[in-house]
Amino acid sequence: MSKSPVTDSAAYLEKKRFFNNILTVYGRKPVLEALEDPSTDIYRLHLASSNRSASIMDDIRKLAEKKGAEILYHDRAALSRISKNAKQDQGVAADLVCKKFQSSDDFLADNLGKKFRLLALDGITNPQNLGMIIRSACAGNIDGILLPQQGNAQIDPLVIKASAGTVFRAPILRCEDLAKTLTRFIDKGTLVCGLSSHAPANLKDFSPDAACIYVLGNETDGVSAKVNALCNTSVKIPMNNGVESLNVAVTAALIAFQ
């Protein structure tokens, strides 16, 4: 008897949702610190079978076991395919389960009709800024961070550090192409808001009647032309003393704590 296609499909979707939750971190100290956070869950710990014994490795293994992780041993080449960073993985990678990570499409499907507030990151290449944005968004009133795989810094040890470890509990919404993703949100009535010194409304006084995605652009070049063309509203942050712009992580924080 074959399984029903419906069940297959539901199981497939559930599995896909589960893997969208997974964040693979690498490097001995980053993995140890991630596991020391009582709120993190771990699915699998990957170790290079060539690792020499070291007390930090014992600590990592013990914490991973305690959290119920599967522990797998690989040759060096296989481990670097998992960590995607042979230079910095130091023979360790961990698949963390970040419950608030999901695909942007799942988020949209789950939140139709709600007045959510998102940040969309369009070329945040500085790990320090990405980490700070995640930390502020996570602490403030932001329901998700649209983080395209391409064009932004990867969630690496520098980002984790700058996020003060908050990335593991942050609502990261993964997507491929930001412009296409924004279009799908716009089709469901979402506002896409750019920052512009020419905007009529001040961020402070801006309280839209619909869901709204605030777009943050690259540190030097700003928002890309493709994404900028999709913005259907804009706000300004008035500045004194002739200052022309704020750091992008500061802008993110002002939006998050508006």
Stretch 219-238 residues interacting with its own copies (CB under 8 A): 237
Nearer to its own copies among residue 33 and residue 51 (C-beta):
33
Give the whole-angstrom CA distance, residue 201 versus residue 235. Answer: 5
Q: Which one of residues 152, 166, 218, 234 is an interface residue with its own copies (CB under 8 A)?
A: 166
Please give the C-alpha separations between residue 154 and each of 91, 159, 174, 244, in angstroms, as whole numbers. 19, 8, 12, 28
Does 128 interact with its own copies (rule: CB under 8 A)?
Answer: yes
Nearest to 39 by CA among 126, 102, 99: 99
147 binds its own copies (CB under 8 A): no
Question: Which of 32, 72, 139, 179 contacts its own copies by CB under 8 A?
Answer: 139
| Residue of 4, 7, 39, 220 that binds its own copies (CB under 8 A) | 39
**Any alpha helices (H) in 52-177, and if so which ranges?**
55-66, 76-83, 104-110, 127-139, 157-162
Q: Which residues of 198-233 are buried (b: 16+ CB within 10 A; e: fewer)?
A: ebeeebeebeeeebbbbbbbbbeebbbeebbebbeb
**How many angstroms separate the CA atoms of 110 and 62, rounded?**
37
Among 50, 141, 154, 183, interactor with its own copies by CB under 8 A: 141
* Options 42, 57, 138, 223; binder of its own copies; rule CB under 8 A: 138
Question: What binding mask, one character per residue, do residues 181-220 give for its own copies by CB under 8 A, x or -?
Answer: -----------------------x----------------
The residue behind tokens 């990151």 is: 121
For its own copies, the closer CB: 82 or 253: 253
| Residues within the interface to its own copies (CB under 8 A) | 39, 128, 132, 135-136, 138-141, 162, 164, 166, 169-170, 204, 237, 239-243, 245-247, 249-250, 253-254, 257
